[in-house]
Structure 1
Amino acid sequence: MIPSVATALDLPFPSPGGSVELFLDLYTGDSPLIPAAAFMLASGGQRSSPPPGLTLLDVPGKCLEGRAFGAYVERLRSAVASAVRQTDVHTLHLHHLAFGGSPALLRAVPGARRIALVHGTDLLFAAKYPEQHIVLQHCAAASDAIVVPTKAMADRLLALAPGTARRKIELIPWGIPDHLLSAAVGSRPRRSSHLRLLYAGRLTSEKGVETLVHSLASVPAVELSVAAPPSQFHALAPLLHRLGVHVRYLGWLRRPQLWKAFADHDVLVMPSTTFEAMGLVALEAQACGLPVLYQPVPGLSETLASSGMATDFTSPSALVRDLTRLRSTPGLLDALRTAGRANAARYPLSATAAALTKLGEQLG
């Protein structure tokens, strides 16, 4: 079957992050949930082969501003236009309203229906870089529908692009692989008097890991493991050394490895400082029976609510109080596991794919 959807992430394959995992989950594999002509960038240091259904574009010069950005988008447009037949593409899925992928797709296939899917990084970069702000506003205006995973993301988008027609905004939550929701989760006995914390994700400033580390310096009886990209963890190492905080570094784990690592910990920590589009890693942890301790920022508060435990990672006293509760209150971790599994079950990836497909048909 010839895919009628075209989509792109102008990120090198493989790249870390929930947006990338969602993209690969939806469009790639032997039996993709949404058959598509899906594109990412080729990486010079690439070690792993792309999954079926993903085409890598050898387009150098990724950037954010200036004349170089315009030239980069044109190279992307040319590469996409060479890889697809316009008459075969009925719908564009524009992942990210900023960056180069969405404007390149709009120019490469101008006659297709346009569904934009808003992520956290495009909003963050549009707020920081004037040219990306312009790209976001242009792509929002050019889209027939704009999909947000949480109401908080709609609020952020409208703050950046207040001229966006509200009627175009559709709330479709992101999802996690269905097999995680159907897998059995056994009992999780504590293996140590210490509480075993896990952080999994990128270590960029908005993720709040530096705040977490500062607060943990005064917290007794905890062990912290970090699964993050190597270069980002190495950049964090001097702070860990200065504060005397010991961290067990797990490397950047492939998702099946991460799902196994969940079983070796007591709590996933989400110390994000600004907002989260959805918090997919938190939902994956809940599906695997790992409770979540989180900063109640927009997005996470909506996705997790009372199924996780909210705390203030910026306050060592509050963090000590809540970690002590988790460690010493009988039945609390088990109750959070039960609530977390029920919450994660609300977000199957198949439902996300079905809703996006239905939206495309409605636009037709």
Structure 2
Amino acid sequence: MNPTVVTALDLPFPSPGGSVELFLDLYTGRSPFLPARSFMLAPEHRGLRPSVPAGLELVQAPGKCLTGYAFRRYVATLQRALTEAVDPGNVGVLHLQHLAFGATPALLRAFPKRPRIALVHGTDLLFAETHPEQLATLREAARAADVVVMPTGAMADRLLLLAPDIPRRTIEKIPWGIPDRLITSPPPRRRNQPTSHLRILYAGRLTPEKGFDTLLTALPLTRSTELSIAAPRAEFHALRPRLHQLGVHVHYLGWLRRPQLWKTFADHDVLVMPSTTLEAMGLVALEAQACGLPVLHQPVPGLTESLGGSALATDFADPHAVARELDRLRTSPDLLPALRAAGATNAARFPLSTTATALAELGKRLA
């Protein structure tokens, strides 16, 4: 028998981001890969009652913040909410998500004697590098974990720089995965070669570390390209002045649900990922590859490991280099088909079922 998993993300549902999608993929749905008591925060706005997937529970824990006394008070509030929701006697193993934020210390204090598997996400490391409270929270959680799961070697290296006293024997590499059905039955492609224009897609957050501004500076140097953006609405609206300043026209698609995004892949020629620092794995890139969409990316740690030679790398800090690669994709008839074939082979290495099986085996070992 698999031990009962209890896990939480202290983000309001729904929230954008790859770690949220992975969380929902693993623990929720009518037949989840990992049956669990899984929690996210209820929206604080009164009257807003989102429809949640099967298996996801929402807890009331207002006051989410990052530092100081208010952070400690918020962790205590979340701890009480989790303790009221779950009988400690029914907890088999804790899956700690987002080690630098409030849900992890709340779970550790609510259920102090349970085995702990820590799953480290890219956001944890990026915040720990710049926020002392998040660094201390990350270190405490990593030391308390029985196993620390990292999706790539690059992530493990970065964690050990931030928390060098973590015993290396507790670190285990388990790559994140994408839904199996996307690998076996991707949406049909409706566009195999550029016609008059190369259709470029950017899909993700528009936060500074994603490097979107570097892409914008390259677009005026290219010929015959069209850019579509799938991103959170508030982040896109904040970008409008920059778009106007550069004179760049884009098609805004909204923040798409996963099945919508997969269908959108079929209408474009290339996905761009100009991230400037670190990607845990770049799940959106793997999903694009599974759907036959080639990827042009900045070779940052994590992403280079998951994509290898299956995608096209370039220096997004050099707008002329980016423009040259985009023009080459548009004019070289054999390049896009070769990248599509290589990408599909690469994406097939990362089924979500493999991730879930490895995590379940860890839980059995610790229980």
Within the alignment, does 1:29 sit opposite 2:33 as a pair?
no
| 2:276 counterpart SS class | coil
- Residue 61 of structure 1 corresponds to which residue in structure 2? 63
1:134 match: 136
Kindly report which structure 2 residues correspond to 1:71-86, keeping only aligned pairs within 5 A, or say none: 71-86=73-88
Check conservation: 1:228, 1:253, Cα contact below 8 A: yes
Query: Which segments of 5 or more consecutive residues in structure 1 lack a partner in the other structure?
Result: none
What are the within-5 Å matches in structure 2 for residues 213-252 of structure 1? Answer: 213-252=216-255
Q: Which amino acid aligns with 2:68?
A: G
Residues 61-107 of structure 1: CA deviation (Å, up to 9, x unaligned): 00000100000000000000010111111100001111100000001
Paired residue for 1:8?
8
Q: What is the distance in 2 between the residues matched to 1:47 and 1:126? A: 32
- Where does residue 275 of structure 1 map in the other structure? 278
Deviation at 1:314, TM superposition (A): 1.3
Q: 2:191 aligns with which of 188, 191, 214?
A: 188
- Given that 2:153 and 2:173 are in contact with CA atoms closer than 8 Å, whether structure 1 keeps it comes out as yes
Counterpart of 1:176 in structure 2 is 178
Query: Matched residue of 1:353: which SS?
Result: helix
SS at match of 1:30: coil
Q: How does 1:105-124 map to 2 (within 5 A)?
A: 105-124=107-126
How far has the Cα of 1:44 moved from its partner? 3.3
In structure 2, distance between residues paired with 1:331 and 1:53: 45
Partner of 2:207: 204
CA contact 2:189–2:266 (8 Å) conserved in 1:
no
State the alpha-carbon separation in 2 of the partners of residues 240 and 187 from structure 1.
29
Q: Which moved more, 1:123-132 or 1:1-10?
A: 1-10
Provide closer, same or farther for how the CA distance between residues 217 and 190 of structure 1 changes in structure 2, counting only shifts above 3 A: same
Is the Cα contact below 8 Å between 1:3 and 1:37 reproduced in 2? no
Residue identity in the other structure for 2:360: T
Secondary structure in structure 2 of the residue aligned to 1:56: strand
* Corresponding residue for residue 17 of structure 1: 17
Q: TM-score, normalised by structure 1?
A: 0.98
Letter in 2 for 1:178: D
Alignment partners' CA distance in 1, 2:49 and 2:283: 25
Post-superposition Cα deviations, 1:129-150, rounded to whole Å, max 9, x if no partner, equal 1111100000000000000000
User: What CA distance in whole angstroms lies between the structure 2 residues aligned with 1:362 and 1:134?
Assistant: 28
Amino acid at match of 1:54: L
* Unmatched 5+ stretches in structure 2: none
Which residue of 2 is the match for residue 349 of structure 1?
Answer: 352
RMSD over aligned CA atoms reads: 1.4
Equivalent residue runs for 1:31-46 within 5 Å: 31-45=31-45, 46=48
Q: Which amino acid aligns with 1:65?
A: T
Q: Is the 8 A contact 2:329 2:335 kept in 1?
A: yes
Deviating more after overlay: 309-318 vs 23-32:
309-318
1:39 is paired with a residue whose SS is strand
**Aligned match of 1:265:** 268
Q: Indicate yes or no: 2:313 matched with 1:310.
A: yes
How far 1:29 sits from its partner (Å)?
Answer: 0.6
CA distance in 2, matches of 1:206, 1:47: 31
Return the letter of the residue paired with 1:7.
Answer: T
Contact 2:125 2:158 in 1 (8 A): yes
* Distance change in 2, residues 1:2/1:77 (3 Å): farther
Whole-angstrom distance in 1 between the partners of 2:147 and 2:167: 9
Secondary structure at 2:8 match in 1: strand
Report the number of matched residues. 364
Check whether the contact 1:2–1:88 (CA below 8 A) recurs between aligned residues: no
Paired with 1:340 and 1:152, the residues of 2 have a C-alpha distance of 21
- Cα displacement string for residues 223-250 of structure 1 (whole angstroms, at most 9, x for unaligned residues): 1000000000001110000000111100
Task: Provide the C-alpha distance between the structure 1 equivalents of 2:88 and 2:121, rounded to a whole number of angstroms.
Answer: 26
The aligned counterpart of 1:334 is: 337
> How much does 1:2 deviate?
10
* Paired residues of 2:269 and 2:293 also in contact (CA < 8 A): yes
Write out per-residue CA displacement over residues 238-293 of structure 1, whole angstroms, 9 at most, x where no aligned residue.
Answer: 00000001111000001111011001100000000001001000000000110000
Which amino acid is the alignment partner of residue 113 of structure 1? P
Residue 201 of structure 2: SS of its match in structure 1?
strand
Q: Which amino acid is the alignment partner of residue 293 of structure 1?
A: L
For the residues of structure 2 that align with 1:332 and 1:78, how far apart are their CA atoms?
A: 56
Q: Secondary structure at the match of 1:237?
A: helix
Distance (whole Å) between structure 2 residues aligned to residue 50 and residue 20 of structure 1: 13
- Report % sequence identity: 65
Distance in 2 (CA, whole Å) between partners of 1:50 and 1:186 is 30
